[in-house]
Structure 1
Amino acid sequence: MKNSKELIELLNLEDLGNHNFSGNSVTIGSPNVFGGQVLAQAVNAAYKTIPQDRILHSLHSYFLEAGNLSIPINYNVQEVRNGGSFSTRRVTASQHDKTIFILAASFHKKEDGFEHQTKFDKTIKQPEELFSWDDMLEQFGDFLPKSMKYFLSIERPIEFKPVRIPNPLQPEDLPPTEQVWFRLKGEKQEMDFRTKQEILTYISDYNVLNAAFNPNASEYNFGNTQTASLDHSMWFFRDFDFDDWMLFSAESPNAFGARGLSKGNIFTRDGKLVASFAQEGLLRPKK
């Protein structure tokens, strides 16, 4: 999967009738289905049952079992509520009749109201000053750990540029934060707000647990720690375009009991807040 067109195709599910849908999977370098893919496909399934005048404003989800890359994922949508302003959907994802993921999503009819947003850090390094994952692989691939080299070598439809690049050969403890610029690869695709939300949901599961890892990065990493997304929540605010770089900014308030919590915001390059997210993940040191 090398560009945004292929990503859109991956997230657009087959309609099986009676609020049942089916989708396939593409690896991102891990042995199981990428959580962001299941999230985004579940949003796509829910949207297929929602009136056109309503948009997703929040979602809350749990990852229950690891997904199998080799078999389709089935999504069943339950219409929980259709009110005057809000609609609620529950989506259950399963493989071989085993539930692997559940999602609750709320959709809101557009309304006007007062507003504010958190401040955007205008002093942050710009993407033109930074190395992308592809740059890192090209320049430092011979020195990277095998697992990291393999992960970076996987073709993906998104370009990432971390604001801070840790040295994998001399790991050190870092602040519990993670900031990454990102943009879509390939020719610009015409897409409505629904599709943009699905793609942003997919991207939001990348990099999110790094913030929880960083304070103990001198000792623990993705190679010696069992990791998995346990839950994921998002709140969507303003419309946006993927025409330019966007900023993923996360912080981790806590890691304890083999779990880490990360939360943060997603901004456009000019500082518009488009979404917030929170995720707790498994961080279990391997024995």
Structure 2
Amino acid sequence: MTEAARAAAAAGFPTEGPLDTDGVPHGQPVLDRLVALLDLERIEENIFRGVSPAESPVRVFGGQVAGQALVAAGRTVPPERRVHSLHSYFIRPGDPRIPIVYEVDRIRDGRSFTTRRVVAVQRGKAIFSLSASFQSEEPGMDHQEPMPDVPAPDTLPDYATAAEGYLDKAGAMARLPRPIDLRYVTTPPWKARDSGPAEARSQVWMRADGKLPDDDLLHVCVLAYASDMTLLDSILVRHGVYWGTDNVLGASLDHAMWFHRRFRADEWFLYDCASPSASGARGLATGRFFGADGELVATVVQEGLLRVIK
């Protein structure tokens, strides 16, 4: 057993639970594992340590390190100040076999805003950096763009049903335990590739697959985790390709989020994503999270490395 696997077992991650129709674990036990994953060990006042799931792929999932880094930042901020934005860079691939150390720099504590910088370190080198800003709640102007008109999530097939017949081609990533319930509104990218290039857009309903504790920071960190899951789909469908099925190599380069309104990550939210541009082996994608009630709760922008191997 690896060091990360031993640490994960020591954290009390359950190993049993319901299975999707394709045999992949999901539901409350898997969500509880994600919650435990985000519950970092405090080593020093500004230093935290996190682990990766034992069944991780060859590198740490970007949403995991972003969520853990945000937890580290939030643990040094008064609870009445809520995170309103984060900006991050993926510097090196993370090794899931060893723990990640998160070092927090308390940049500023102002009257209304608190700023934190976090560096994730493995083997003495930075693999990820994050800056986050927190704000005391206050009234102000309020408006938003309308939510797209889409089918309700309970009318759409779950991920296992939508991916039937494609999982063997998609590789190990598609068979990891699923803490997030995901329902595609637009045609999934692995099916869209069969009909060639399409509009650079992806729409999915998402929610944590179970019940989360009443902890505002945890809900924000779960949303940050989920935000890295399908964002680059909007680029892939534009070119009629998909991971594992075509010779496409990709990685997140940077990731920014703005949190506009309160939400619960264990309730349905629509992730409406689009790609305005791709060039130079990089693609830009933007995403908007809408609650089921139509409220715009967060906005995301990410640039990804996308290489097509001839």
- Give me the TM-score of the superposition, normalised by structure 2: 0.85
Cα distance in 2 for residues equivalent to 1:169 and 1:213: 8
Partner amino acid for 1:116? H
Q: Taking structure 1 as reference, are residues 189 and 261 closer, same or farther at Cα in structure 2, changes over 3 Å only?
A: same
Partner amino acid for 2:175? S
> Alpha carbon RMSD of aligned pairs, Å?
1.8
Residue matched to 1:83: 110
Deviation at 1:280, TM superposition (A): 0.2
2:128 to 97, 101, 106: 101
Cα distance in 1 for residues equivalent to 2:52 and 2:95: 8
Identity %: 40
Per-residue displacement from partner, 1:188-225 (whole Å, max 9, x unpaired)?
A: 232221111011111011101011111111xx322311
Per-residue displacement from partner, 1:57-94 (whole Å, max 9, x unpaired)?
A: 00000000000010000000001111111111110001
Larger mean CA deviation between 196-205 and 145-154 belongs to 145-154
* Residue 181 (structure 1) aligned with residue 208 (structure 2): no
* Residue 278 (structure 1) aligned with residue 290 (structure 2): no
Q: Taking structure 1 as reference, are residues 66 and 200 closer, same or farther at Cα in structure 2, changes over 3 Å only?
A: same
Segments of structure 2 that go 5 or more residues without pairing to the other structure are: 1-12, 14-25
- Give me the TM-score of the superposition, normalised by structure 1: 0.92
Aligned pairs (5 A) from 1:161-180:
161-166=183-188, 167=191, 170-180=194-204
Segments of structure 1 that go 5 or more residues without pairing to the other structure are: none
Residue matched to 1:125: 151
Partner amino acid for 1:162? Y
Determine helix, strand or coil for the equivalent of 2:71: helix
CA contact (8 A) 1:133 1:152 kept: no
Aligned pairs (5 A) from 1:1-287:
2=26, 3-26=30-53, 30-121=57-148, 123-137=149-163, 140-141=164-165, 144=166, 146-148=168-170, 150-166=172-188, 167=191, 170-186=194-210, 188-217=211-240, 220-223=241-244, 224-287=247-310
Cα distance in 2 for residues equivalent to 1:206 and 1:51: 29
Partner amino acid for 1:221? Y
Determine helix, strand or coil for the equivalent of 1:230: strand
Deviation at 1:243, TM superposition (A): 4.7
Deviation at 1:154, TM superposition (A): 2.0
Deviation at 1:145, TM superposition (A): 6.0
CA contact (8 A) 1:23 1:73 kept: yes
CA contact (8 A) 1:91 1:103 kept: yes
Per-residue displacement from partner, 1:143-167 (whole Å, max 9, x unpaired)?
A: x263416433321111111112242
Deviation at 1:27, TM superposition (A): 6.8
Determine helix, strand or coil for the equivalent of 2:186: coil
Partner amino acid for 2:287? G
State the aligned residue count: 279
Q: Taking structure 1 as reference, are residues 145 and 206 closer, same or farther at Cα in structure 2, changes over 3 Å only?
A: closer
Partner amino acid for 1:253? P
CA contact (8 A) 1:258 1:282 kept: yes
Deviation at 1:255, TM superposition (A): 0.4
Deviation at 1:169, TM superposition (A): 7.4
CA contact (8 A) 1:27 1:34 kept: no
Per-residue displacement from partner, 1:123-157 (whole Å, max 9, x unpaired)?
A: 312212212212134xx33xx26341643332111
Larger mean CA deviation between 145-154 and 78-87 belongs to 145-154
